[in-house]
Each structure stands twice: as C-alpha cells, then as structure tokens.
C-alpha cells in the first residue's frame, strides 16, 4: 500500500489525482502532517508526500531503522514539477515509484542513486536475493574497476559491465557458501523441491527432510523457487505449511503428468495411494532439470514425508522489439524498457545506431548488415538458449515485415519470448497523410526477394477487387523498378484515375517528405525503398490536402 500525505490545497489536488488513478494501491492519510507521516510509515510499504523535501526529511528521519525494511519515500513539490525519491530508492522501490508518479502527474523524477544515475542496475535490484559486499562491489563498478562475473548457474541478468577477471566478483550460485571478501552472491531461484507426504504429516517433519536434503547437498534454501507435489496433496497441511514457512509457492501436477516422468526411484506405495509411482522425484523433474538429490525419506518412524531436489537453469528471454518508424518520440516506453533490460542486443547495424545511446553499460551488441536477417534470428535465439536476456530489434513493428517471424520460426518452447509492438511505417505514414486507413485496408510488400511475383500479383488483384485501401512496402529499388508500375496498373483497373495516393518517405524522421497525388499522376520514379505508398479505395477523398477514407457512419450520410 502507498500512503499519500499532503498539507496544502495544491498538494491535496495532486494527491487526489494519484488516489483516483491508483484506488487499489493508495490510502490517503489526513490529519496533522506529522501524525499522518508516522501512521503511514508504520502501515505502508511506500509513501508519497506532497510536501517540501526538507519537511519530509525532518519527519521521517526519527522513523528510519533499516534500509532493507524501511518504506520507500517519494517527495513531490507543491507545483508538481518534481518527484524525488528520498528514502529506499532500491530496497523500498522509491526510484521506480518516482518514475511512475512522474509519468502520471507530469513531474520529472529526480533519481540520485549512483547506479541509476550512470545507468548501471543496482546489484540489489536484480530481483535475486543478494549477500556479501554489495556496497564495495557496487563502488568498484561505479569507479570503473574490473568486476568479474562467476556464474555457477546460468541465469538471465540485465546488462552489467562485468570483466573476465577482477579484484571484485559477483557470483551467481545456489550453493550454501559464504561470500568472500570483495564478493557478492546472487541467489537465483534455480532449485525445485519435489515433496510427498502421508496424510497428516507434520509441518516440522516436511521441513526437516527438505532442510536436511539441502544441507547435505550443500545447497542454499534462498534459491528454492517452489515446492512441487501431486494435485491430491494440494491441501495437505504439512506441505502447505512448509511452503509458507519457506516463503515459496506450492505448485501441483496431476497424477497423470507425474506418472509420465521417468524417475530413478519409482515406488508402488504412491502408485496405490495417488495414482503415480513417484511424487517427490517426478514433481521436481516434470519441467526438466538436473536431479541433485534423489528421493529421500524423513526421519520419522514411520517416515511420513519425502523430498527430491532438482536444479533448473534459468530460461533465456527473447524480447522482439519494434523500434517504430525512426522518430525517438515514437519509440514506446515498453520498447525502451526492454532495451535497457537486455544483456544482449541483436540487430541490423543501422537500427542499432538509432538506439545505441539507450543501452546500459555492459550490453553486448551483436550487429550485422543488410541481408543477414536469418543469421540475426538464429543468433538471437541461440543467445536466449544460453540463458541470456536478449533483445532482437526491428524497425516499425518487429512482427511486420521484420524479425519476429524468422526468430519465432527458429525458437522453441525452451525460451521465453516477449513481443514488444512498435509503430509501423504504414501507421506513421497514414498519420502524416490524414486518415487513409479509416476503413478496411491491407499492407503488401512488393519485394519479390522472398515471395514470388506471381503470389504478390495475386494478392494485389484480390485487394483491388475487394476495394481495400492498399499500403505498399518496399515499393521500388534500383534493381526492382517494374513491380510498382505493374501493381498500380492492376489497381487502376478497378479505381478511378483521380483516386488519392499518398507518398511518404522516411515517415516521422527529420528528412521525411509527404505528398498526396492521384493514381493517374503518381510517377513511380519518385519512389524508393524508404517510401511507403498508400493507395485509397473508391471512397477515399482528398479533403484539404489530406487523404480521408470514410468509415461509413450514418450521420455522415445525413443531409445537412
């Protein structure tokens, strides 16, 4: 919950805007400001104070106890110009909250945390439990000293400028080890504990067999991702209680799913009881991984619980990101976030140049030239399969005549794939031209490098006969100068010579040009590969120099 505190009418107005936008996340604290801050500090995970920063500092200073448990505090000035994280920038989430508040209220987030200021993710913000010399290793990163990455477990991390060797180390491990001097341990959620239990098994006995298995194998309980069991045991108090004590989710599978898993130690007892020859081992292994601890029984007489431990490598992450038509302000916030999250970026060299300044230090860039689309798709998928967080970029929307299709044809279900939409060239051009896509429309690429011309021509004829507005991508190049005249001739067989045609080159870019002409007057020689050509349908009109395709609303047909 986010506590909201204000002292003046102007502050209350901004406070109420935030409360209205986030009704389920916020709680307004009225009354004397000092009392309101104290109550909110004790009851909420975060605070937004619409007060002077000095006043907030004096009010919260006596309440601070520990940076890992104190709520994050954001201060917003009376004019609503700035959102300043004062306390708990990382651990309390105040930095991110300031960005959210700023986006909602139009205020500038003023983030002064050193790592955020230079674009390096804080080691305590990676979403993994962290131990060791966090301050010392972070200082080394900020000072540009070499910090080595020792990844005993492959896990997708955001970009950090690691070196091959260094006096400081970040170690990614699920082993039960202590951090050495100048070392930080990151605990990935790589361990799955499969659990079986007899009816009425005590929580203490279930916990004891789990903790004993981890201790004997030298594994850290902080790396447990989940407990797993059969559906029949979903409500077994001992298993449910153990998951709650460990602070991890309980995942269940049907007996049929578990029975299909090959295990080293099947047994007739669980087969008779719940319909599968293995519960602990099968539940741990059902989603794959390395069996580190085979089934072991608890120490009770008789034993009432079993467990097995499996290590799963982190699933790689492939984000297919559309960069939009070229203008920076048409690059979506989600695309920017994915670019900053990726530790590996794969893309066409000229597209990489467009967004290179947005990448975080430590991002590994794999760029190539024109004609290497399949190579980039294979590279991006291969890097994701190695457990990296990868961004594969394309212009416009990466799913429209771009990299999503070859990449997803290469990818299988062993990686996570996220699609990030972008503003397409057709949409950017349409916005410049007016409203040519106001009714049904189609996009057709005239490049026959990957599609036979016979297929392209059949599609153009179908669009012409269906009276669809047509946007032509890749309309003409030095080596392909006849396809556009041929396509226009096909459309001219179904539309008047006066049909409006929009020609937009480098849509949204500083050197962009746009004009509206007609089907009869368009000179194909003025078109190149950087141009989008939009041909209207029989209803499209040139109104005040803009292309407009009516949607067909009834009120537009009524006499005035």
φ/ψ (deg, to 5) at 449: -70, -35
The model's pTM is: 0.73
Cis peptide leading into residue 409 (ω within 30°): no
Please state the length of the chain. Answer: 560
| CA 401 – CA 20 distance, rounded (Å) | 41
Interacting residues of 57 by C-beta distance below 8 A, sequence separation 6+ = 86
pLDDT in the model for residue 90: 79
CA angle 369, 373, 379 (to 5 degrees): 95
Using 70 as the pLDDT threshold, list the residues of the chain that sit under it: 114, 116-118, 553-560
Instruction: Report helix, strand and coil shares of the chain as percent, to nearest 5.
Output: 35, 25, 40
Q: How far, in Å, are 63, 150, 414, 513 from residue 376 at the CA level?
A: 53, 27, 19, 31
Angle between helices 237-246 and 203-217 (to 10 degrees): 50
| CA 100 – CA 97 distance, rounded (Å) | 5
Q: How far, in Å, are 82, 399, 553, 555 from residue 433 at the CA level?
A: 37, 23, 21, 24
pLDDT in the model for residue 166: 87
Instruction: Retrieve residue 282's tokens.
Output: 């099968």
| Contact indicator for 444, 459 with CB cutoff of 8 Å | yes
Q: How far, in Å, are 189, 272, 276, 277 from residue 266 at the CA level?
A: 27, 12, 9, 5
| Contact indicator for 138, 147 with CB cutoff of 8 Å | no
Which stretch of DSSP H or E encloses residue 372? none
For the four alpha carbons of 447, 453, 457 and 463, in that order, the dihedral sign comes to negative
φ/ψ (deg, to 5) at 416: -90, 135
pLDDT in the model for residue 116: 67
pLDDT in the model for residue 110: 87
What is the chain's Cα-based Rg? 30
| CA 537 – CA 519 distance, rounded (Å) | 11
pLDDT in the model for residue 232: 92
Say how many C-beta atoms besides its own lie within 10 A of residue 112's C-beta.
Answer: 11
Instruction: Retrieve residue 5's tokens.
Output: 């505190």
pLDDT in the model for residue 554: 61
Instruction: Retrieve residue 399's tokens.
Output: 């799913």
DSSP conformation letters of 177-204: ----TTEEEE--S-EEEEEEE-TT--HH
pLDDT in the model for residue 559: 53
pLDDT in the model for residue 112: 80
| CA 271 – CA 260 distance, rounded (Å) | 12
Query: DSSP state, 540?
Result: -
Across 325-413, the runs of DSSP E, i.e. the strands, are 344-348, 364-368, 389-394
pLDDT in the model for residue 114: 67
């Amino acid at each position: 919950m986010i506590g909201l505190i204000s002292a003046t009418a102007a502050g209350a107005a901004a406070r109420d805007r935030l409360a209205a936008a986030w009704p389920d996340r916020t709680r307004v604290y009225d009354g004397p400001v000092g009392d309101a801050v104290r109550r909110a500090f004790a009851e909420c995970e975060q605070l937004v104070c619409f007060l002077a920063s000095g006043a907030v500092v004096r009010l919260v200073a006596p309440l601070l106890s520990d940076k890992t448990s104190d709520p994050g505090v954001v201060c917003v000035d009376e004019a609503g110009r700035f959102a300043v994280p004062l306390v708990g920038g990382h651990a309390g989430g105040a930095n991110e909250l300031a960005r959210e508040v700023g986006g909602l209220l139009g205020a500038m987030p003023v983030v002064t945390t050193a790592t955020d200021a230079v674009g390096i993710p804080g080691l305590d913000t990676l979403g993994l439990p962290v131990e060791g010399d966090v301050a010392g290793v972070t200082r080394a990163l900020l000072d540009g000293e070499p910090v080595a990455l020792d990844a005993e477990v492959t896990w997708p991390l955001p970009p950090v400028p690691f070196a091959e060797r260094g006096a400081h180390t970040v170690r990614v491990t699920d082993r039960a080890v202590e951090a050495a001097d100048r070392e930080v341990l990151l605990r990935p959620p790589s361990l799955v504990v499969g659990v079986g239990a007899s009816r009425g098994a005590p929580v203490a006995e279930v916990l004891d067999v789990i903790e004993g298995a981890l201790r004997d194998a030298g594994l850290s309980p902080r790396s447990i991702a989940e407990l797993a069991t059969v559906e029949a045991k979903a409500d077994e108090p001992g298993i449910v209680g153990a998951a709650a004590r460990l602070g991890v989710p309980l995942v269940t599978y049907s007996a049929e799913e578990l029975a299909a898993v090959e295990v080293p130690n099947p047994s007739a007892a669980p087969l008779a009881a719940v319909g599968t020859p293995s519960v602990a081992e099968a539940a741990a292994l059902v989603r794959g991984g390395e069996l580190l601890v085979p089934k072991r029984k608890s120490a009770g007489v008789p034993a009432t619980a079993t467990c097995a431990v499996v290590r799963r490598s982190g699933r790689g992450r492939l984000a297919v990101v559309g960069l939009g038509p070229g203008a920076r302000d048409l690059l979506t916030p989600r695309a920017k976030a994915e670019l900053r999250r990726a530790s590996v970026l794969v893309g066409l060299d000229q597209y990489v140049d467009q967004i290179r300044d947005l990448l975080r230090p430590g991002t590994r860039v794999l760029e190539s030239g024109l004609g290497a689309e399949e190579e980039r798709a294979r590279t991006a998928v291969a890097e994701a399969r190695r457990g990296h967080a990868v961004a594969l970029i394309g212009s416009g929307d990466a799913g429209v005549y771009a990299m999503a299709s070859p990449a997803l044809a290469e990818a299988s279900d062993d990686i996570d794939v996220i699609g990030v939409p972008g503003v397409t060239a057709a949409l950017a051009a349409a916005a410049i031209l007016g409203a040519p896509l106001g009714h049904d429309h189609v996009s057709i690429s005239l490049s026959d490098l990957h599609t036979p011309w016979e297929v392209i021509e059949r599609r153009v004829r179908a669009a012409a006969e269906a009276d669809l507005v047509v946007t032509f991508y890749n309309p003409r190049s030095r080596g392909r100068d006849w396809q556009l005249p041929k396509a226009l001739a096909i459309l001219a067989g179904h539309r008047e010579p006066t049909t409006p045609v929009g020609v937009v080159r480098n849509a949204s870019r500083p050197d962009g040009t746009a004009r509206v002409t007609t089907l009869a007057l368009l000179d194909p020689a003025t078109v190149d590969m950087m141009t989008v050509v939009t041909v209207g349908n029989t209803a499209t009109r040139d109104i005040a120099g803009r292309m407009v395709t009516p949607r067909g609303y009834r009120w537009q047909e009524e006499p005035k």
